[in-house]
Amino acid sequence: MNKCLKITFSFEKMPSNFLRTVIQKHAKNLDIEGIAQAINSSKKVRIIACGIKDSVDDFIDILHKNFSEHAIQDVEIEPFIRDKDYRSVFRIIE
C-alpha cells in the first residue's frame, strides 16, 4: 500500500546541505519519491514524500531523530493526495 505525506518544519539556522545529506539521502535509500524545498523567506522547509507505507514510516522515524539533533521546530505531518508524478525520484528544489 502506498502513502503520501506533506511534512513542514521550521528552523533557526539550517545546517549546510541538510536537505541533500539528510533528507534526500534517506529518501533515496528508502525508495521514497517526492520533493523537498526550503522556503527561505519564512525559514521553513516543505517535504512531499510518497512511497510504500513502511518506507514512508521509516523515513518519518529518521526525520524525527534528525529533528531533535538539529533543533528543528514546528513539525507538521499530514496526509497528502499525490497531484503529480514524481517519476520515482526525490528532488531538492532550490
Per the model's pLDDT, the better-predicted residue between 32 and 85 turns out to be 32
Alpha-carbon span 71 to 89, nearest angstrom: 28
Residues 38-49 have a mean pLDDT of 86
Alpha-carbon span 10 to 30, nearest angstrom: 24
Per the model's pLDDT, the better-predicted residue between 68 and 28 turns out to be 28
> Residue 78 above 90 pLDDT?
yes
Using a cut of 0.95, tell me whether the model's pTM lies above it: no
Beta bridge partners of 49: 5, 34
Q: Per-domain residue ranges for the chain?
A: 2-93
Domain 2-93, architecture per CATH: 2-Layer Sandwich (3.30)
Alpha-carbon span 90 to 72, nearest angstrom: 21
